[in-house]
Structure 1
Amino acid sequence: MTLTAAPRATGSAAWADALLLSFAQAGYVQAEPAILQPAEPFLDLSGEDIRKSLYLTTDANGEELCLRPDLTIPVARDYLASDRCGQPAGFSYLGPVFRYRGGRPSEFLQAGIESFGRQDRAAADAEMLALALQATLAFGVSDVEIRTGDVALFNALIDALGLYPVWRRRLIKDFNRKISLEQDLGRLTLATGPGRNEYEGVLAALAGSDRKAALALVTDLMSIAGTTNVGGRTVAEIADRFLEQSTLKGGALPRDALGIIKRFLAIAGDPNDAIVQLRALASDAKLDINAAIDQFESRIGFMAGRGIDTKATRFSTAFGRGVDYYTGFEFELHAKGNGLEPLVAGGRYDGLMTQLGAPSPIPAVGFSVWVEAMTKIGRKPGASGSGSSA
């Protein structure tokens, strides 16, 4: 990782000087990861769907490479390869990223901060939001709306409900994809209705098995029955689809699970009010999700301690950013009156570091500044206004 002791602006833009100075004053050292990156981490963590937006090439050894489509993963990879791996460390960045975006330029600037190794998660989360608000001031933007959520709360709820593994995987995967989650909840309604599933006997036999063992059994049964290839799909592919779809149709959930999930997803508004509603839900449903609620409540306290008006923030249990590797706090800053494109966005991604090869879990949280969106509405640095609250 190439690190510089002092911020270095890109070009002569005044906002770049102001932004990087604010990051440096907060103790975040500028990182400059390589533009050319291994493609595998991006494909593994974001799925093959991202392939159509990457600029790919192959080196002489056959390794697939890409122009970096964002800076979070490259900064994390450099940190893991450094002698500071596992220790608390904070990095800032400002540089070009490359991603196909239809009619918009494929090369654009991204700025941001990544914080690794801090065990005081609630305090680190609050610091990220405070620094994100400070970053908007570098562009002269002060009138912003804060939207927050916490995927750890949803994950804790799903774990406490004791769902079949296929349902747990599907719901957690689709949490950030609202259309998919709504479809899942529709299937939940069907699954809790009357009637006997035609595969009930098979599912009863598979109950409690891990996915690999269950898939092997179904594949063997289909092979014994003489199934080889249907519609171009292999036996393994057909078995995998059967296992998922039959379980989704099979009354695999506790009868009250749907109502509990819908009640949870309806909680929104003032974060302090949300804490009261979450504790009431946990008590009524007799679910052990108090550790996740305690972490949420601690974060709100640290946010208030940093001068953020928590009553003016918009919290929702259903809020998600569409990024699979987020594991906790998520947030977006929007210009007032602009509900679509965020100016700054980020969150906690503790699971990413082990996925990138860390031998043990490393806490991680950060945010990205969408420079294009900022410069469209920004004023010169030093403009009047305060960005400490929504």
Structure 2
Amino acid sequence: MLPAASAPLPPRDPSSLEDALIACFETAGFSRHDPPILHPADAFLDLSGESIRRRMYLTADADGRELCLRPDITIPVARAVIAERMPLPARVSYLGPVFRFRGEGSGEFRQAGVESFGRTDIEAADAEMVALGLNACALYGVPQPEIRLGDVGLFAALLEALPLAPALRRRLLKDFGQSRLDADLGRQKARPQESASAHAGVLAALTGADPEAARALITDLLSIAGISTVGGRTVSEIAERFLEQSSLEAGAGLSGETGEILSRYLAISGTPDEASARMRALAADAGIDLSAALDTFDRRTGFLTAFAVNLSDVRFSSAFGRPLDYYSGMVFELHDTSGRTDGPLVAGGRYDKLLARLGAETSVPGVGLAVWVERLAALALAPFPAAVEGAR
């Protein structure tokens, strides 16, 4: 997977490195696509999650329709696959600017990446993404990044196997990857001793009401108050949140036993093989069936080995997710082990429901990755260690 030791060192200027990266993707069978920069905002607001929606750059057209500068390129590529009726399987690469408010530094930065749609050999496609991410890091002179691995699909399978109310199941799955699960579990455990909610009157009025009538009531009240969005949420999303909260306030919370199973699951970490053994032991102890999801997990581990990924370098955590709502399976990030840069160098995962949520007639398997080329370039342009300089 990595270049031979005798191979020349890669070019060290950012433009040449980007060209080499795109060439690497094209050699792997991913044809380049360049989607527009300006897009309807609703797709990102609905699908990307609060971590991005709070940082989007929004505007409007002459008719008042909300638009945004693309905060990522996965959704624009997915929309293009649908609009252009690309034959499946489709393998697409990209390189260009994305726009997110970051607090520090420019809100415009460059990303490269690949998206694979329509492959049915799920585990092999997942492993290929991790290998392509490692190749991208190696191209920039980072041959052994830290590999963080998680699995949204496994957590979803666990939630389905547990006796949870639908509202709580949706809440926990939505908060996976948003760093809110500890708060969710703590809130549920404390619920019997909690004082009345700040919205107890409204929530009590909604309890047991017809869902559609309750949703219409909340929507009307917000509209009368002149509220259209709060924190990036639409009126419809605010109404849905009130209904979900009323269900939870009505007692649809966690039992002590179920909370303990979730806490034990979220504490599991290690190499993929170690984690698999611990998750199977937990499932057996709890009397729940996670065999299908864990078999998929183990097959992917086998393909990681086939793609020359060193499993001892992989750190799986059952609690690890990524803050994008459209992920549905494996997620991963590659980080600089020396901590010379903040945030991931490469990140990606599986999103099998994304195309259907964007309007495709059927669900289409999908998996992809994004490369923070400017972070990698900063590492590539840093002075070489003395031992490497002496060998040049």
TM-score of the superposition, structure 1-length normalised? Answer: 0.81
Deviation of 1:142 (Å): 1.3
Deviation of 1:217 (Å): 6.5
> 2: distance between equivalents of 1:240 and 1:37?
26
2:165–2:252 Cα contact (<8 Å) kept: no
* Structure 1 segments unaligned to the other structure (5+ residues): 1-10, 207-211, 223-227, 386-390
Structure 2 counterpart SS, 1:53? coil
Deviation of 1:50 (Å): 4.3
Aligned to 1:104: 105
Offset from partner CA, 1:51-81 (integer Å, 9 cap, x none): 5533333333433222222111111111111
Deviation of 1:350 (Å): 1.0
Aligned to 1:3: none
Structure 1 residues 362 and 144, CA, compared in 2 at 3 Å: closer, same or farther?
A: same
AA partner of residue 123 (structure 1) = A
State whether structure 2 residue 263 is matched by structure 1 residue 291.
no
Offset from partner CA, 1:231-252 (integer Å, 9 cap, x none): x699x97996376156247263
Structure 1 residues 242 and 122, CA, compared in 2 at 3 Å: closer, same or farther?
A: closer
Greater Cα offset, 237-246 or 320-329 = 237-246
The 5 Å alignment of 1:157-172 reads: 157-172=158-173
> 2: distance between equivalents of 1:187 and 1:51?
25
AA partner of residue 167 (structure 2) = V
Structure 1 residues 23 and 217, CA, compared in 2 at 3 Å: closer, same or farther?
A: closer
Structure 1 residues 54 and 83, CA, compared in 2 at 3 Å: closer, same or farther?
A: same
2:153–2:330 Cα contact (<8 Å) kept: yes
Offset from partner CA, 1:19-43 (integer Å, 9 cap, x none): 0111011000001111222222112
Structure 2 counterpart SS, 1:13? helix
Aligned to 1:333: 334
Offset from partner CA, 1:187-233 (integer Å, 9 cap, x none): 22235789xxx99xx89x95xxxxx834637999x9xxxxx89xx69
Greater Cα offset, 260-269 or 49-58 = 49-58
Deviation of 1:284 (Å): 1.3
2:148–2:315 Cα contact (<8 Å) kept: yes
Structure 2 counterpart SS, 1:111? strand
> 2: distance between equivalents of 1:190 and 1:110?
43
Q: Out of 72, 78, 81, which is 1:79 matched to?
A: 81
> 2: distance between equivalents of 1:72 and 1:239?
26
Aligned to 2:24: 22
Deviation of 1:311 (Å): 2.0
1:187–1:249 Cα contact (<8 Å) kept: no
Offset from partner CA, 1:354-373 (integer Å, 9 cap, x none): 11111110011000001121
AA partner of residue 213 (structure 1) = D
Structure 1 residues 58 and 219, CA, compared in 2 at 3 Å: closer, same or farther?
A: closer
Greater Cα offset, 346-355 or 245-254 = 245-254
Aligned to 2:156: 155
Aligned to 1:213: 210
The 5 Å alignment of 1:168-207 reads: 168-178=169-179, 180-191=180-191, 206=208
Percent of aligned pairs sharing the same letter: 46
Q: Out of 43, 53, 59, which is 2:45 matched to?
A: 43
The size of the alignment, in residue pairs, is 355
Tell me the C-alpha RMSD between the 2 structures: 3.5
Offset from partner CA, 1:69-123 (integer Å, 9 cap, x none): 21111111111112325x1010111111122222311221110100001111110
> 1: distance between equivalents of 2:324 and 2:37?
22
Aligned to 1:279: 280
Aligned to 1:225: none
Aligned to 2:68: 66
The 5 Å alignment of 1:82-161 reads: 82-85=84-87, 87-161=88-162
Structure 1 residues 275 and 239, CA, compared in 2 at 3 Å: closer, same or farther?
A: closer
Structure 1 residues 63 and 279, CA, compared in 2 at 3 Å: closer, same or farther?
A: same
Structure 1 counterpart SS, 2:378? helix
> 1: distance between equivalents of 2:240 and 2:78?
37
Offset from partner CA, 1:267-297 (integer Å, 9 cap, x none): 1011101111111111111112211111111
Structure 1 residues 111 and 318, CA, compared in 2 at 3 Å: closer, same or farther?
A: same
* Structure 2 segments unaligned to the other structure (5+ residues): 1-12, 195-199, 228-235, 388-392
Structure 2 counterpart SS, 1:272? helix
> 1: distance between equivalents of 2:128 and 2:361?
27
Aligned to 1:4: none
Structure 2 counterpart SS, 1:337? coil
> 2: distance between equivalents of 1:376 and 1:243?
45
AA partner of residue 216 (structure 1) = A
Aligned to 1:8: none
Structure 1 residues 239 and 353, CA, compared in 2 at 3 Å: closer, same or farther?
A: closer
Offset from partner CA, 1:321-341 (integer Å, 9 cap, x none): 111111010000001132841
Deviation of 1:141 (Å): 1.6
> 2: distance between equivalents of 1:238 and 1:92?
38
Deviation of 1:48 (Å): 6.8
1:218–1:243 Cα contact (<8 Å) kept: no
1:191–1:251 Cα contact (<8 Å) kept: no
Structure 1 residues 240 and 42, CA, compared in 2 at 3 Å: closer, same or farther?
A: closer
TM-score of the superposition, structure 2-length normalised? Answer: 0.81
